[in-house]
Amino acid sequence: MVSDEQVHTHAPPHQGGWGEPAARGKLWRIANDLRRRAGFGICAIEVRRSDDQMEFVAIATDDPAARELEGQSSPLDAMYPVIDLGEVIGLFTFIPHEVVTAEAHASIEPYVVTPDLPHSDDPDAWHPQDMMVARLDDASNRLRAFVYFDIPRSLRRPSNDELVQLSDDLDVTLQSVITTIEREEYAAGVRFATGARLVVRSADSRHGLPDLLRLACEELQQSFRATVLAVDVFGEMLAMHPPGAVTMEDPPLLEAVEDAARRCWARQRVLLVDGSRVWGDDELDASSRGDLVELLSYRDWVELVVVPIGAGDEVLGMLAIARGDGIAAWSDDESSAALDVGHDLGRAILNARASERERQAAEELRRVDYYRTGLIATLAHELKNPIGVVAGHAEMLSMLDEEQNLPPEALRSLEAITRGADRLAILVDDLTTLSKVGDPAHELEAARVDLVCLAMSVVDQSALAAGQRGIKLVCNAPPDPVVVLGDATSLTSVITNLVTNAISYSDDGGSVRLSLWCRDDQVVLECTDEGLGISGEDLTQLFTEFFRSTNREALVRPGTGLGLTITRRIVERHGGRIEVESELGSGSTFRVCLPLAAAPEAVVT
């Protein structure tokens, strides 16, 4: 405890350092109880910090000068040269001043206070330089604290019997010192872990690395009680809080610290600069060490902690935590929590990068989709005019045939031209429909639509084509309206495509059944045929644009390869889904599920 002059000229480097105020207050109350029950004027509790410094956390005394020493720190081994000279009796070590060598006294002089006591020639009188201390170890025999007693009220040295009795009387209270220390360290770990979880939990709801780093800086600055906190993602960006604060201005120094962070990640430890030394990386060169220590003084910081950030074996960046005066010294619990944060931030950074890549890919796909939709619409528009010209001239030639009887060769060519023009016209119509249903900017104008009426209408219109091939076309629908919200024209196209495909890919004399029913809050439209069926390979590509089939028998049937693509897009735009069940040679079942509409209003048929 220093001399009186030193007390007033050297302020404690970490005033109010170890622990939260509540924990320090509890230790002071314990110290005050110990000094009262032991019959001493002073009881001081010195706690071991994570940096192997001993800090006076609680001093119970009536002497204001001694109370000012709370927060004073000293090296872990500073008191050992004297304590080792004493005799252990019970829980206490008593060191009479006469056994203390000059060398040992010199080693502790900066850390002790010599009380002002009246001189006495009595050999049993308490000498101002006598010491009495209890060493407190935890269950793993690790030193956690020293408890010092000074100035007995009797002003006499305690006898061995008295020290044994004191040990018995104060045993439980002394153990409560360890309990208080461990509880505070556990609570600190919980606080830091909670802060880290909050960061990760909040980061999960964000998209993009800038948002993640800004949020991490704001949250972690409070969790770690940092004056300045910065997150450096190597090669990408640096974020800090408060905004505009500067951590390491010198690029070579920043590079050296980044290299140190990479080495610290491999060892799973932090780099700590505490104003006089740098520890955590033995390979950091002397120049960088000196620059870091000087940086603390230049920035008016007391500590700088560098925490590596990574995931797996990959180091992604570092977390720089700077603390000013008046904040607790960095602890083991904070190191453990900070390394956990480094892992959590590493995963969050990788997730943010993945989300950014997904966002960019989705944006690129949207651009491609817009381009494709525009290209299809343009192509369909540009094809309409020449197709109209071809169809018009074919019609003129057919009229000419009625007047001049064209030769058979010309008639065959004319029929081929007409069929080709008709197929092109159908293709253009499908392309136009595809561009509309695939355009995100083309909003669905929903109204109440009765699917029963649409289904019956499609069956009536398709009955002739089915009858010409002897195909039995059946419609099973409920007698009451089945209403969905949607576009009547688009939904008619869905039913028409399903029925037309079923007829087209059925053999002569087969049957096609269209069924409609309600299930829970959905409408189910099902079209079943007994036709060619679809192979498992083709099922995976069935709804792909322009895909027809790998079945040669199916390829001879007319079609553009766009009908099912258009059908699926219409169904999805209506909030539904389409399913297919089929086996080659055993027919097919297409099933469309759409949301059932709510309260009845005017129905569009």
pLDDT-derived band at 550, boundaries 50, 70, 90: low
Identify the weakest region by mean pLDDT among 229-238, 345-354, 415-424, 489-498.
415-424
- CATH 3.30.450.70 for domain 193-355, yes or no, is no
Say which residue, 446 or 314, is predicted with more confidence: 314
Please tell me the predicted confidence (pLDDT) of residue 7: 28
Please tell me the predicted confidence (pLDDT) of residue 193: 67
pLDDT-derived band at 536, boundaries 50, 70, 90: confident
Task: Give residue-wise pLDDT tens across range 332-357.
Answer: 778 888 888 898 888 888 888 888 88
Look at residue 376 and tell me whether its pLDDT is greater than 70. no
Q: What are phi and psi of 46, to 5 degrees?
A: -115, 120
Identify the weakest region by mean pLDDT among 250-264, 404-418, 501-515.
404-418
Q: What is the mean pLDDT of residues 300-305?
A: 83
Burial per residue of 303-325, b for 16 or more beta-carbon CB atoms within 10 angstroms, e otherwise? bbbbbbbbbeeebbbbbbbbbee
Say which residue, 539 or 150, is predicted with more confidence: 150
pLDDT-derived band at 1, boundaries 50, 70, 90: very low
- Cβ 256 vs Cβ 284: under 8 Å: yes
Please tell me the predicted confidence (pLDDT) of residue 202: 66
Look at residue 602 and tell me whether its pLDDT is greater than 60. no
Fold of 357-437: Helix Hairpins (1.10.287)
pLDDT-derived band at 560, boundaries 50, 70, 90: low
Q: What is the mean pLDDT of residues 286-308?
A: 81
């792909």: which residue's tokens? 544
- CATH 3.40.50.2300 for domain 4-186, yes or no, is no
Look at residue 382 and tell me whether its pLDDT is greater than 80. no
Q: What is the dotted CATH code of the domain comprising 447-595? A: 3.30.565.10
- Give the percent of the chain with pLDDT over 70: 81
DSSP reduced 3-state for 471 = coil
Which secondary-structure segment (H or E) carries 217? helix 209-223
For 282, other C-beta atoms within 10 Å of its C-beta total: 8
Please tell me the predicted confidence (pLDDT) of residue 401: 58
Please tell me the predicted confidence (pLDDT) of residue 249: 57
- The residues, any chain, with a CB within 8 Å of residue 261's CB and separated by 6 or more, are 271, 306, 307, 308, 309, 315, 317, 318
Say which residue, 6 or 42, is predicted with more confidence: 42
Please tell me the predicted confidence (pLDDT) of residue 16: 40
DSSP reduced 3-state for 487 = coil
DSSP reduced 3-state for 253 = helix
Burial label for 128, CB within 10 Å (0-12, 13-18, 19+), is: middle
How many whole angstroms separate alpha carbon 352 and alpha carbon 180? 41
Domain boundaries, the chain: 4-186, 193-355, 357-437, 447-595
The 3-state secondary structure of 99-131 reads HCCHHHHHHHHHHCCCCCCCCCCCCCECCCCCE
DSSP class of 206: -
Please tell me the predicted confidence (pLDDT) of residue 10: 28
Please tell me the predicted confidence (pLDDT) of residue 265: 92
Look at residue 267 and tell me whether its pLDDT is greater than 60. yes
Task: Give residue-wise pLDDT tens across range 16-25.
Answer: 468 888 899 9
Say which residue, 470 or 387, is predicted with more confidence: 470
Say which residue, 269 or 19, is predicted with more confidence: 269
Task: Give residue-wise pLDDT tens across range 179-208.
Answer: 999 888 878 767 766 766 676 666 654 557
- The residues, any chain, with a CB within 8 Å of residue 298's CB and separated by 6 or more, are none
Please tell me the predicted confidence (pLDDT) of residue 163: 95
Q: What is the mean pLDDT of residues 281-302?
A: 78
The 3-state secondary structure of 21-81 reads HHHHHHHHHHHHHHHHHHCEEEEEEEEECCCCEEEEEEEECCCHHHHCCCCCEEECCCCHH
Please tell me the predicted confidence (pLDDT) of residue 597: 85
pTM across the whole model: 0.48
Please tell me the predicted confidence (pLDDT) of residue 13: 35
Task: Give residue-wise pLDDT tens across range 497-522.
Answer: 899 888 888 888 899 999 999 988 89
Mean of the per-residue pLDDT values of the chain: 81
One fold for 4-186 and 193-355: yes
Closest residue by Cα to residue 113 from 209, 185, 7, 18: 7
Please tell me the predicted confidence (pLDDT) of residue 555: 62
